[in-house]
């Protein structure tokens, strides 16, 4: 069975007794077995979990050390048969020195010991910094030599590489995580003991998110809990699972029982994002990390396991709803700044076609805001509505209302007679409403705009969006052409949020409007319309009959597919599993597979349109620009992806 590219992980804060390794070993074993039964392949326990972090000068006692070592070996033996990788805090003596360490255990064996490098003043009373142990390279435990120092742990069959750093080592410069991820680690495990006070939980979370973003990795942190001594500080058990810029799971703070917090990491997506060379060296200028082989880890498999992780259905929006408006304003201002720069460079007007739909509405708002930022009148925008055979009454009314409320220069030019003349010229029956019938209208509109640009001394602003570009849902030589496309990196599913954000407070978005209430009303009407190219005749009531999503599928799915194809590099099987879980209850599995096949076929076949597309500002995380963002052959075969879809 094929791996889904996910591994289930667990950060565990067990109940502990400070100074009682036997009790702690029992609790660790109990939690270890419970997490393994949940399918977790990586188990992370806190710093000095076998003894408790707050033993103080008792760490100098032989009795505590010997029991700590015995329990370490007992925990290792209890792991036999589990297959999961276990990382837990302990302390190790070597050459007369004590080291605060993490032990890495799998299937009855201690595979490696990683020492802490950056010690607090309190820790330095009992422990030595781990650089000397890194140079030594090994320790003896139970009569066996165990690798020790700066280590990477590698499951070669899965292509999964893990690294370990302890506690506040993440604040060192350079941090071990930086060197480990540069050498290929996709996941960093940090056994930690973080006191909880004031804003500390928020600070720790932001620190882990920053590490995830900076190193393109997943980061697990398991922290000591409330059963540590509270004589000077309180330990809240703040344990987290972070993947790049997202918190996948958080343990409850101040839990009075053992907590096992589970999250699923898409490690193959992390591997595709990294693509880094081997690290030039380890701590203290030593050689790079030594590689320790792992037995195959229990991964989530296609056909056997079910994902529990849900991805955001709209990956182009912030996960926190409180951040959406600020994000949308930033995107809108980026579009505005890009267009303003091009207009100022050419010292020209802006021309664009207006249908009353989502894309052209957003482009017109951007054009009006760009003129305002240049201290030029709104009348320097020429907006042209071009009714055709498929123009619906709602879209036409929206277009006229929007042009009026923004105060732009407007013009109406029907394309019907010109299209009929063209049909006669090429010998096409206008009763045959095929692709020629549709594309003739799209190209006629583009010709009008290009000729008006010559006549008015202007620049044609494109309105097509990222989602349409991805699917090739545009007419080559028609709406695919422009002189600058402000929506080039804006997915269809983001546009309603952008429009509502501008409507809620135009001034904050950088747009003056004499009648904000009227603008709000027309933007809501635009959002309520079905998405359509309006190239086929409307129904008897004048309503749109041609609905894009009935032809090519829901943009909610296509934007999800596009984001994860480009940003995480997932295979069809993995992407399908992610979509089925994330859209559970919205789209049936068969429907998701149908539209995923459509996505691959269109996305991989339509590069020739994107290769000759206009420039435009990248205002979001994904760009399809052939000038550096996306390098695809124009004659790429989609058969490999479509064959895998047939096997699902």
| pLDDT tens-digit series, residues 84-131 | 999 999 999 999 999 999 999 999 999 999 999 999 998 999 999 999
| Cβ contact 144:132 at 8 Å | no
Q: Across the chain, what does the average pLDDT equal? A: 93
Give the Cβ contact number of residue 107 at 10 Å. 16
Task: Answer yes or no: is pLDDT of 280 > 60.
Answer: no
For Cα atoms 407, 413, 417, give the angle at the middle one, nearest 5 degrees.
170
Which of 389, 390, 382 is CA-nearest to residue 354?
A: 382
- Reading across the β-sheet that carries 246-250, which strands appear in turn? 246-250, 240-243, 218-223, 187-192, 160-164, 151-155, 290-293
Q: Which residue is listed with tokens 């080291």? A: 99
Tokens describing residue 354: 């207006």
Please identify, in words, the CATH class of the domain defined by 321-647.
Answer: alpha beta
For Cα atoms 603, 607, 609, give the angle at the middle one, nearest 5 degrees.
115
The confidence band for 283, taking pLDDT boundaries of 50, 70 and 90, is low
CATH number at 6-293: 3.60.110.10
Which of 500, 519, 537, 529 is CA-nearest to residue 395?
A: 529
| pLDDT tens-digit series, residues 552-584 | 999 999 999 999 999 888 889 899 999 999 999
Q: List phi, psi (to 5°) of 139.
A: -135, 160
pLDDT given for residue 275 in this prediction: 58
| pLDDT tens-digit series, residues 368-378 | 999 999 999 99
| Cβ contact 508:640 at 8 Å | no
Cα separation, 22 vs 604, whole angstroms:
59
Q: Which are the contacts of 444, defined by CB distance < 8 A and separation ≥ 6?
A: 386, 388, 415, 418, 419, 422
Q: What is the DSSP annotation of 99-148? A: EEEEEEEETTEEEEEEE--S--TTGGGT---THHHHHH-EEEETTEEEEB
Taking only Cα atoms into account, the Rg of the chain, rounded to an integer number of angstroms, comes to 30
The confidence band for 612, taking pLDDT boundaries of 50, 70 and 90, is very high
| pLDDT tens-digit series, residues 367-422 | 999 999 999 999 999 999 999 999 988 999 999 999 999 999 999 999 999 999 99
Task: Answer yes or no: is pLDDT of 277 > 70.
Answer: no
- Reading across the β-sheet that carries 409-412, which strands appear in turn? 409-412, 381-385, 349-353, 458-462, 484-485
- DSSP 8-state symbol, 3: B
| Cβ contact 49:88 at 8 Å | yes
Cα separation, 275 vs 448, whole angstroms:
47
pLDDT given for residue 634 in this prediction: 87
| Cβ contact 72:90 at 8 Å | yes
Cα separation, 175 vs 448, whole angstroms:
59
Task: Answer yes or no: is pLDDT of 197 > 90.
Answer: no
Over residues 273-279, the mean pLDDT reads 52
| Cβ contact 228:52 at 8 Å | yes
The model scores a pTM over 0.85: yes
Task: Answer yes or no: is pLDDT of 628 > 90.
Answer: no
CA torsion angle 583 586 592 596 (round to 10): -70
CA–CA distance from 516 to each of 214, 357, 436 (Å)?
Answer: 41, 19, 41
The confidence band for 545, taking pLDDT boundaries of 50, 70 and 90, is confident
Task: Answer yes or no: is pLDDT of 274 > 80.
Answer: no
pLDDT given for residue 598 in this prediction: 96
Bridge partners, 223 (sequence order): 192
The confidence band for 273, taking pLDDT boundaries of 50, 70 and 90, is confident
Cα separation, 12 vs 41, whole angstroms:
13
Give the Cβ contact number of residue 457 at 10 Å. 11
Cα separation, 353 vs 395, whole angstroms:
13
Which of 267, 36, 71, 289 is CA-nearest to residue 163?
A: 289
The confidence band for 611, taking pLDDT boundaries of 50, 70 and 90, is very high
Query: What residue ranges of the chain are covered by domains with CATH 3.40.50.620?
Result: 321-647
| pLDDT tens-digit series, residues 587-602 | 999 999 999 999 999 9
Query: What is the percentage of the chain residues whose pLDDT exceeds 90?
Result: 82
Query: What residue ranges of the chain are covered by domains with CATH 3.60.110.10?
Result: 6-293
Task: Answer yes or no: is pLDDT of 285 > 50.
Answer: no
pLDDT given for residue 303 in this prediction: 74
| pLDDT tens-digit series, residues 226-258 | 999 888 889 999 999 999 989 999 999 999 999
Q: Within 13 Å of residue 142, how many CA atoms lie on the same side as its CB?
A: 15
Cα separation, 290 vs 375, whole angstroms:
61
């Amino acid at each position: 069975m094929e791996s889904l590219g996910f591994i289930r992980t667990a950060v565990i804060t067990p109940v502990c007794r400070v100074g009682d390794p036997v009790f702690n070993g029992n609790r660790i074993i109990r939690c270890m077995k419970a997490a393994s039964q949940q399918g977790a392949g990586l188990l992370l326990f806190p710093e000095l979990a076998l003894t408790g972090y707050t033993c103080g000068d008792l760490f100098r006692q032989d009795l505590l050390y010997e029991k700590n070592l015995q329990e370490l070996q007992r925990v290792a033996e209890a792991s036999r048969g589990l297959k999961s990788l276990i990382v837990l805090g302990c302390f190790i003596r070597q050459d007369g020195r004590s080291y605060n360490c993490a032990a890495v255990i799998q299937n009855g064996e201690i595979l490696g010991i990683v020492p802490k490098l950056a010690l607090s003043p309190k820790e330095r009373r009992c422990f030595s910094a781990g650089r000397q142990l890194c140079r030594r390279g090994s320790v003896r435990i139970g009569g066996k030599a165990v690798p020790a120092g700066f280590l990477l742990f590698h499951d070669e069959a899965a292509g999964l590489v893990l690294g370990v750093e302890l506690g506040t080592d993440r604040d060192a410069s350079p941090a071990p995580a930086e060197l480990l991820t540069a050498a290929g680690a996709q996941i960093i495990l940090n056994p930690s003991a973080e006191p909880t006070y004031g804003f500390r939980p928020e600070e720790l979370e932001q620190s882990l998110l920053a590490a995830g973003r900076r190193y393109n990795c997943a980061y697990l942190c398991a922290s000591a809990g409330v059963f540590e001594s509270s004589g000077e500080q309180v330990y809240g058990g703040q344990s987290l699972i972070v993947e790049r810029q997202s918190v996948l799971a958080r343990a409850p703070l101040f839990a009075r029982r053992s907590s096992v917090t589970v999250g699923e990491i898409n490690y193959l997506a992390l591997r595709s994002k990294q693509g880094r060379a081997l690290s030039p060296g380890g701590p203290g200028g030593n050689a790079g990390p030594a590689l320790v082989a792992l037995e195959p880890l229990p991964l989530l498999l296609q056909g056997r396991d079910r994902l529990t992780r849900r991805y955001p259905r709209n990956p182009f929006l912030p996960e926190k709803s409180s951040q959406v408006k600020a994000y949308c304003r930033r995107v809108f201002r980026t579009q505005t700044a890009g267009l303003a720069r091009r207009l100022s460079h050419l010292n020209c007007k802006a021309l664009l076609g207006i249908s009353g739909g989502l894309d052209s509405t957003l482009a017109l708002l951007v054009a009006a805001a760009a003129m305002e930022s240049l201290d030029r009148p709104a009348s320097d925008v020429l907006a042209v509505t071009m009714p055709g055979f498929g123009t619906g009454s709602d879209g036409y009314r929206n277009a006229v209302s929007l042009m009026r409320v923004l105060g732009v220069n407007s013009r109406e030019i029907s394309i019907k007679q010109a299209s009929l003349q063209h049909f006669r010229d090429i010998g096409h029956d206008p009763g045959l409403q095929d692709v020629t019938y549709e594309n003739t209208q799209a190209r006629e509109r583009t010709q009008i705009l290009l000729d008006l640009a010559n006549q008015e001394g202007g620049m044609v602003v494109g309105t097509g969006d990222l989602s349409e570009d991805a699917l090739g849902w545009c007419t080559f030589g028609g709406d695919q052409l422009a002189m600058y496309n402000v929506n080039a990196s804006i997915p269809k599913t983001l546009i309603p949020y952008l429009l509502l954000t501008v409507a809620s407070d135009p001034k904050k978005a950088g747009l003056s409007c004499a009648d904000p209430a009227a603008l709000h009303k027309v933007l809501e009407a635009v959002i309520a319309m079905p998405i359509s190219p309006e190239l086929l005749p409307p129904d008897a009531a004048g309503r749109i009959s041609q609905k894009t999503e009935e032809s090519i599928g829901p943009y909610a799915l296509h934007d999800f597919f596009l984001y994860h194809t480009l940003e995480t590099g997932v295979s069809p099987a993995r992407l399908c599993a992610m979509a089925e879980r994330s859209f559970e209850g919205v789209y049936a599995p068969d429907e998701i597979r149908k539209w995923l096949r459509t996505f691959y076929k269109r996305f991989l076949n339509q590069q020739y349109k994107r290769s000759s597309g206009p420039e435009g500002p990248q205002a979001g995380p994904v760009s399809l620009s052939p000038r550096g963002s996306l390098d695809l052959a124009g004659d790429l075969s989609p058969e490999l992806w479509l064959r895998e879809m047939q096997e699902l």
